[in-house]
Structure formats: structure tokens, C-alpha cells
Structure 1
Amino acid sequence: MTDLRRTRLRLEMSREAVRLFRAHGVAGTSGERIAEAVGLSGRTLWRYFRTKESCVEPVLARSLDSFVEVLRAWPADRSLDEHLLDAPPAVDPEADTDGELALAVIGLSRTEPALRAVWLVLHERAEATLADLVAERTGLPVNDLRVHVQAAALAGALRITSEELAAAFLDGRTPADPAARLTEAVHTATRGLDDDDARTPATARTPAGEPQ
């Protein structure tokens, strides 16, 4: 079996795992049931995944990889805020479906510790990739403290935004515009403390339209 076929098979099992977890819960879904949903044996599934919860890794990884790819395309003459707002949509026809599945996993992780662990571990790995990108962008060594802090800030912005959107998605609420919300979070993480408004406690701010 080629590497491409293995990757594709893992993704197919991951998608079915998320759908079954969402419909029946993690406790109500066995590894064998996930394998059966894609026409495989349980033995085959366990060759690809350590646990049934780890089956969600490929779907989550696609979501994180898409953010990394957007950052890779960040032009040198534009701010990150501008780039995120104007970034072209994904050309992958499966991106929207996998994005929703990723949100489902992240939402379920609020009450499923094993899924939460998978989500956070993948996020930690993504942070290392972000550090490489920040170092390349700034010309600083990858082990520079500023690089690590900036990468952690970007990763945190993505995690918090993803969890907000996931909560709205699973609760049936209309989520905020993902690009706009992520841009706001990234701005706060990277430059927010330089803004006068950010240094003012929310309770002390004057509502829009009222005299100062």
C-alpha cells in the first residue's frame, strides 16, 4: 500500500470515527464499529491507531495544517491581520466537511477528556511548526525566546478561536465569522497589548456612542 493510500485510509477512518462519536458518544462507539463503517476489520484499524479516541487525529491535523499553510503564504509586505482576512478559501473540495468534523471533535472534547488530550497534543506539535515559521519570518534563531512566545501566542489564538466556534457549532448557535474572529484573536495575541483599548479594563471602557 502506498503512503498516499495509507494517509487516505486513515482519514476515512477518522471521519467515520467523528461521525460515530457525535451520534453515539465515545463510550457508545467501539473501534470495531468505526472499522466496520469503512468496510475494514478491527484488526486493521488497530494497525493505524493506538486507541479509538486517537482516530480523530487526521481530521484535527488537517484543520491545524490549513492554518499553517495560510501562515506560510503570508506576504512580507502585509500585516498578518490583512493577510488572514484576505486569504483565499481552500481549494480542497473536502475542506469544509473536514472543518466541520474538526469543530465537532473540538466541541466534544469539552466533556470527553480523551478527545481533549488528543486535541491538545496535536496543538502542541503545531506550535513547534509555528515557531519555525516565526523564525523564518523574523530572521531570529528558532530557539530565541521571542520566537517561542510569538508561536505560543499564535497557537493560543487559534485554539481559543477554534473552541469558541466549536461550542457554537455543537450548541446550534450561529458562530462568528471564522476569519474575522481568528484575525481578532491573532491581533490581540501579537499586538493587542500595544493598543490603548487593550490596556483598559473592559468594565471601564465607554460604550460606543456614549460620551467619554
Structure 2
Amino acid sequence: MTASRGRTGRPPLTEERRAEIRLEIARAAVDLFVDQGVAATTGEQIGQAVGVSARTVWRYFPSKESCVRPLLTAGIDVIAACLREWPPGRPLEDAFAWQLEDDERLLVGPDPTTVGALVRLTRTEPGLRAVWLQTHDEAEPAFARALAERAGLPDADFRSTVQAAMFNAALRAAVEHHAWRATDTPADRATARTELAEALRSALAVVARGLT
């Protein structure tokens, strides 16, 4: 009888490490897209920039455009948490913009200058535009649940659904406004975050006033 052999090879990656790899791929993809365009960028190039094979890139993402998703989805849970924690009686445009500037959970997120470069690409790259809009579409139910929880209402509450749609549209408009007005000389991270907070504050103030 031969002795059974133990399992060999590399240990499986943790979920945290998988998330790190996905984010590394996303950053590398954006850098390449900015430098040479989406059409000229290959999966092999993206993998080389991160130190992984093209096969690994495709294991995580179905297309090169979808590689950017982690940069766009990284803040959804944090934003939803901010909505749940929004103090009663405090204007949303003040409460949320303050959190964006000072909340440590948001400070560890993707560099806003990198996200800004990606959003600017969505103006001319239809594939990236589709990913950007799909990300917001998928985020909206999370925002609706957060608002319903804050108000003590059922998840499917219609009012929370409408409020989430308005908030989501304001969030997208603010990020696009900030990204599209950026100069060719990128601001430092702190400045970019402050400027983005101001754009969001202005957008939410418009929502708060409603249609007149």
C-alpha cells in the first residue's frame, strides 16, 4: 500500500487576495486605456502590467471593458452605509459630502484621479459607457434598501425606490461633471476628493429642491 500524498501546488487564494487582484487588473486596464485606447489594448498587456497571465485576466473578467468594474463598484457598500447613517434632520447635500471628504472608509477606496480618468473615457468608449451605466443600475437597489432601512420601511417601499433613483442620478451626474471638467494635470488625491465632494454637494442640493 502506498502512502497517500498530501495536496501539492499553491494554496488557494483568499477572497481578499482575489479582490486585490481584481483591483490591480482594473487599475492597469485604465492606465492602458488612457495611454493607447481600448481597441489597442489586449488582455495580454493588461496581465503583463499586473504580473499575471491573460488567462488569469479572463478568469476574473469576461471582457477587457469589464476589467474596470472593481473601480466603479468599490464604493457602493460604503455609500449605502452612509445613506443608512445619514442623521435625521440634516440636509443630505451636507451630510453626505462631509462623509465623502472625511470618512476613512471612503479614503481607502480607489484613487479619485484614476476613477476620473476612467469616467472621462466613457464619453468616447461605448463599451466602458455600458459598464459605467450598468454599475449604477446595479447600485440603485442597494441605495433603496439603505434608505428604506433608515426610515424603518420595507425593502420594497416605493418612496425609497424613487429616492434612490434620484440620489443615484445625482451621484452619477456629479462624478461625470467633476471628471469631465478636470484638466490634463491631475490633482492630488486630497484635492480631487474635495472637489468631487463639492460637485456631489451641489448635485444633491438640486435634488433636495426638487422640480419647481
Question: Which category of TM-score, normalised to the shorter sequence, fits these structures?
Answer: 0.7 to 0.9
Query: Over residues 141-200 of structure 1, what are the superposed CA-to-partner deviations in whole Å (9 max), with x where a residue is unaligned?
Result: 2222211110000000000001111111265598883222212211222x212xxxx63x
The one-letter code matched in structure 1 to 2:30 is: V
Unaligned runs of 5+ in 2: 1-12
In structure 1, the residue matched to 2:195 is 177
In the alignment, does 2:204 pair up with 1:192? Answer: no
Alpha-carbon contact 1:106-1:166 (below 8 Å) kept: yes
The one-letter code matched in structure 1 to 2:196 is: P
Q: Distance in 2 between matches of 1:181 and 1:150?
A: 19
Other structure's SS at 1:169 match: coil
In structure 1, the residue matched to 2:124 is 111
Q: CA deviation at 1:40?
A: 0.8
The correspondence for 1:28, drawn from 10, 25, 40, is 40
RMSD (Å) for aligned C-alpha atoms? 2.4
Q: Distance in 2 between matches of 1:111 and 1:21?
A: 11
Alpha-carbon contact 1:110-1:116 (below 8 Å) kept: yes
The correspondence for 2:64, drawn from 52, 74, 90, is 52
The one-letter code matched in structure 1 to 2:142 is: T
Alpha-carbon contact 2:122-2:129 (below 8 Å) kept: yes
Quickly say closer, same or farther: Cα 1:170–1:27, change in 2 above 3 A. Answer: farther
In structure 2, the residue matched to 1:158 is 171
In structure 1, the residue matched to 2:23 is 11
The one-letter code matched in structure 1 to 2:179 is: A
Quickly say closer, same or farther: Cα 1:163–1:48, change in 2 above 3 A. Answer: same
Other structure's SS at 2:182 match: helix
The correspondence for 1:38, drawn from 50, 53, 60, is 50
In structure 1, the residue matched to 2:85 is 73
Q: Distance in 1 between matches of 2:98 and 2:106?
A: 19
Quickly say closer, same or farther: Cα 1:164–1:173, change in 2 above 3 A. Answer: farther
Alpha-carbon contact 2:47-2:54 (below 8 Å) kept: yes
Is 65-74 or 110-119 further displaced after alignment? 65-74
Unaligned runs of 5+ in 1: 200-212
User: What TM-score do the two structures reach when normalised by structure 2?
Assistant: 0.82
User: What TM-score do the two structures reach when normalised by structure 1?
Assistant: 0.82
Aligned length: 194
Query: Over residues 107-136 of structure 1, what are the superposed CA-to-partner deviations in whole Å (9 max), with x where a residue is unaligned?
Result: 100110100111111111110100001111
Q: Distance in 2 between matches of 1:192 and 1:19?
A: 39
The one-letter code matched in structure 2 to 1:127 is: E
The one-letter code matched in structure 2 to 1:167 is: W
Q: CA deviation at 1:73?
A: 3.0
